[in-house]
Amino acid sequence: MDLTRRARRLELDVSGPEQDLSSGHDGASSGGYDARADRRPLPRPADGLPLQRGGWRLFAVFVLVLGLVISALSAWAWYGYVSSLRRQAVASSLADVTSILGASLQRDNELLASVNAIVATHPELTNGSLEAYLSRLDLSQNYPGTIAFAYVESVSETGLPDFEAATKADPPLGVPATSSAPVTKSLDGQPSYCLTRLAAVELLPGDDLLKDLLLEWAGPYLSAHFNFCASSYQELLDASARTGAPSVSSAVRLLVPTPGMPALPAALHAFVAELPIFVEATPVYAAPQPLTATGGRAKVLSGWTLGLFDAQQILEPALANEKDVSVVLAYGTPGARPMVLAQEGHAEAGVTTNRLSFSADPGWIVDVKVSPQGNGPSPDVQAGAVLLGSLALTLLLVILLNVLITSRRSALELVEERTAALRHQALHDPLTGLPNRSLVDQRAQRLLSRARGQGSPLAVFFIDLDDFKKVNDTLGHPAGDELLRAVAARLSAAVRGSDTVGRLGGDEFVVLSEGSFLDEGVNVVAERILSVLRQPFSLGSLVKSHLALSASIGIAAGLREGPEELLRDADIALYKAKSTGKNRYVLFEPEMHEVVKQHLALETELAEAFLNKEFFLVYQPIVDLGTEVANDVEALLRWRHPSRGVVGPDQFVPVLESSELIIDIGRFVLEEACRQARAWHDLGHPIGVSVNVAARQLRYDALIDHVRQALAAAGLAPCYLTLEVTESMLMMDSKMTAQRLAALSGLGVRIAIDDFGTGYSSISYLREFPVDILKIDRSFVDQLATGTGTNFLDALVHLGKTLGLLTIAEGIEERSQLRHLKDQGCDLGQGLLFSRPLLPDEIGPLILGSDHLAKARQH
Domain of 544: which CATH number? 3.30.70.270
Domain boundary among 537, 555, 588: 588
Q: DSSP of 57-114, one letter per residue?
A: HHHHHHHHHHHHHHHHHHHHHHHHHHHHHHHHHHHHHHHHHHHHHHHHHHHHHHHHHH
CA–CA–CA angle 200, 202, 203 (5° rounding): 120
Task: Say yes or no: 710 and 849 in one domain.
Answer: yes
For residues 371 and 354, the answer to whether their CB atoms sit within 8 Å is no
**pLDDT at res. 27:** 36
| Cα 560 to Cα 452: distance, rounded to the nearest angstrom | 10
Structural domain boundaries enclosing 198:
101-321
Residues linked to residue 464 through DSSP beta bridges, in sequence order:
508, 552
Sequence-ordered strand ranges (E) for 246-389 = 247-250, 277-285, 301-310, 325-331, 339-345, 353-357, 364-370
Q: How many residues does the chain have?
A: 859
Q: What is the mean pLDDT of each run of 10 residues along the chain (859 residues)?
A: 44 38 35 34 41 63 81 81 74 77 82 87 86 83 83 86 85 69 53 81 57 60 71 82 83 61 62 74 76 59 87 80 79 75 68 66 78 66 80 79 64 74 85 91 88 83 88 83 92 88 92 74 88 88 78 89 87 85 87 78 85 92 90 92 87 83 92 94 90 88 92 95 85 78 93 77 70 88 74 86 90 90 91 91 69 41
Closest CA to 27 of 658, 593, 449: 449
Please tell me the predicted confidence (pLDDT) of residue 44: 42
Closest alpha carbon to 249 in 240, 258, 241, 257: 240
Exposed e or buried b for every residue in 258-277, given b needs 16+ CB within 10 A? beebeebeeebeebbeebbb
What residues have CB less than 8 Å from 106, skipping those under 6 apart? Answer: 358, 360, 764
Regarding whether 383 and 257 lie in a shared domain, the answer is no
Residues 117 and 200 both lie in one domain: yes
Q: Please give the Cα distance from 650 to 657 (Å, whole number).
A: 11
Number of domains in the chain: 4
Q: Is residue 593 in some structural domain?
A: no
Which residue pairs from 397-405 have beta carbons closer than 8 angstroms and sit at least 24 positions apart in sequence? 397/63, 397/67, 398/60, 398/63, 398/64, 398/67, 401/59, 401/60, 401/63, 402/60, 405/51, 405/56
The closest alpha carbon to 311, from 348, 347, 339, belongs to 339
777 in any annotated domain = yes
CB count, 10 Å around CB of 771? 22
Asked whether residue 249 is assigned to any structural domain, the reply reads yes
> CA 556, CA 551: separation in Å to the nearest integer?
17
Phi and psi angles of residue 106, each rounded to the nearest 5 degrees, phi first: -65, -40
**817 and 776 housed in the same domain:** yes
Q: Answer whether residue 487 is part of any domain.
A: yes
**Which 3 state secondary structure label does DSSP give 283?**
strand
Claim to verify: residue 108 and residue 226 sit in the same structural domain:
yes
- Residue 818, in any domain of the structure: yes
| Residue 588 φ then ψ, to 5° | -60, 135
The gap from C-alpha 737 to its chain's centroid, in whole angstroms, comes to 14
- Please indicate, yes or no, whether residues 612 and 634 belong to a single structural domain of this protein: yes
Establish if 799 belongs to a structural domain: yes
Task: Give the residue among 575, 529, 571, 574 at the shortest CA–CA distance from 550.
Answer: 529
Query: Are residues 629 and 512 part of one domain?
Result: no
Write the DSSP symbol of residue 730. G
Query: Do the strands 508-514 and 500-505 form a parallel or antiparallel pair, or are they unpaired?
Result: antiparallel
Q: What is the CATH number of the domain that holds 299?
A: 3.30.450
Q: Evaluate whether 362 touches 243 at the Cβ level (below 8 Å).
A: no
Q: Which pLDDT belongs to residue 29?
A: 36
* 690 and 751, same domain (yes or no): yes
Q: How many Cα neighbours within 13 Å face the side chain of 444?
A: 34
Asked if 266 and 275 touch (Cβ cutoff 8 Å), the reply is: no
Nearest to 239 by CA among 217, 254, 218: 254
CA gap 782, 17 in Å, rounded:
55
pLDDT at 196: 86
Of the three residues 534, 553, 588, the one that is the final residue of a domain is: 588
Whether 581 and 710 map to the same domain: the answer is: no
Residue 329 lies in a domain: no
* Together in a domain, 412 and 478: no
Q: How far apart are CA 678 and CA 394, in angstroms?
A: 82
Domain stops at, among 301, 321, 341: 321
Q: 627 with 563, same domain?
A: no
Task: Tell whether 206 is covered by a domain.
Answer: yes
Buried b or exposed e, range 319-346, using 16+ CB within 10 angstroms: bebbbbbbbbbbbebeeeeebbbbbbbe
Q: Which three-class secondary structure state does DSSP give residue 338?
A: coil
C-alpha span between 634 and 689 (Å, rounded): 6
Amino acid at 559: L
Q: How far apart are CA 341 and CA 315, in angstroms?
A: 11
pLDDT at 9: 44
Rg (CA), the chain: 35
What order do you get walking across the sheet with 353-357 strand by strand?
A: 339-345, 325-331, 364-370, 353-357
User: Does one domain contain both 793 and 824?
Assistant: yes
3-class DSSP string for 700-719: CCHHHHHHHHHHHHHCCCHH
